[in-house]
Amino acid sequence: MTDMLALVTIGQSPRVDVLPDLLPALEGRRFAEYGALDHATAEDLVAIAPGDDEVPLVSRMRDGSRVSMVHDRVLPLIAAAIERAAADGAATALLMCTGHFEPFATSIPVHAAEPLAQRSIVEKVTGFGVMNPVPEQIEESRARWEARAGARVPVSAADPYTATDRDLARAARELAAHGASSIVLDCFGYSAAMAAVVHAATGLPVHLARTIAVRAALAEMDAA
């Protein structure tokens, strides 16, 4: 019997918008979904919400609505979700968010999506641009990607939880206009269907962080 993998979202589980794209990679694997906000109250959501000058993370609630939060204030809720997974028998967890997180001091190992996706892409691709959810994230996103790539990386924004196809196409064309030769969709909210919209708008190859991170995490598990 294979070890169970916990898929941990910073929003609420189940992520019915994410799982269909992951199932091919997860075939034959034991997994379960957990969310940092699965047991969150209305007061909790107010407490983690960003102020005007704070950079938000964005995710999805069980009812399909969008939720935004501040990194530092959601960390305890993420850690609690990981420990719930450990109590249920998970051997390791994948954090389904491509934001930057320091290692978690939890009882099971945690694979963070950001370094998995960045390493996989930078090893194989040059000249890419990055799409992330909101304009407030652009500066930090550019700094992290350029540090990893050692080169200039254009970044644009289109929110996967609210954007229309037109919004996605506009953000994609902005990257192409800045010289991108391929496009990274750098959030677990972006789907394969959205990747198809981006490709159709630009003709460029598209790298989907959600599937890249999952395959990289599984490879690390198998190698352990």
Q: What is the pLDDT of residues 91-114, one digit of tens each?
A: 999 999 999 999 999 999 999 999
The neighbour count for residue 10, using CB atoms within 10 Å, is 26
| Model confidence band, residue 224 (pLDDT cutoffs 50, 70, 90) | confident
In the numeric block, the tokens 């990274």 are attached to: 184
> 100 in helix, strand or coil?
coil
Q: Which residues contact 45 (CB under 8 A, 6 or more apart)?
A: 37, 67
Q: Which two tokens stand for residue 207?
A: 């790298």
Tens digit of pLDDT for each residue in 46-71? 999 999 999 999 999 999 999 999 99
Mean pLDDT of 157-176: 99
Return the SS3 of 64.
coil
- Residue 84's pLDDT band, with cuts at 50, 70 and 90, is very high
Residue 58: per-residue pLDDT: 98
**Pick among 2.40.160, 1.10.3430, 1.10.10, 3.40.50: CATH of 4-113+211-223:** 3.40.50
Topology given in CATH for the domain delimited by 116-209? Rossmann fold (3.40.50)
Structure confidence at residue 178 (pLDDT)? 98
Answering whether pTM is above 0.85, one says yes
Residue range 75-100: mean pLDDT, rounded: 97
Band of the pLDDT at 1, cuts 50, 70, 90?
very low
Given strand 90-95, what is the order of strands in its sheet? 30-35, 4-9, 90-95, 110-112
pLDDT over 90 at 134, yes or no: yes
Among candidate residues 59, 94, 55, 95, the one with its CA nearest the CA of residue 71? 55
Q: What is the distance between the alpha carbons of residues 66 and 55, in angstroms, rounded to a whole number?
A: 16
pLDDT, mean over the chain: 97
Q: What percent of the chain has pLDDT over 90?
A: 96
For 19-38, write each residue's pLDDT tens digit: 999 999 999 999 999 999 99
The one-letter code for the residue type at 37 is: L
Q: Where are the domains of the chain?
A: 4-113+211-223, 116-209
**pLDDT score recorded for residue 3:** 87
- Does pLDDT of 79 surpass 50? yes
Q: Is the pLDDT of residue 218 over 50?
A: yes
Q: Are 137 and 70 spatial neighbours (Cβ–Cβ below 8 Å)?
A: no
Residue 141: pLDDT above 50? yes
Q: Both tokens of residue 87?
A: 């109590």
- Tens of pLDDT along 143-155? 999 999 999 999 9
129 CB-near residues (< 8 Å, 6+ apart): 153, 154, 155, 156, 175, 176, 178, 179, 180, 182, 183, 184
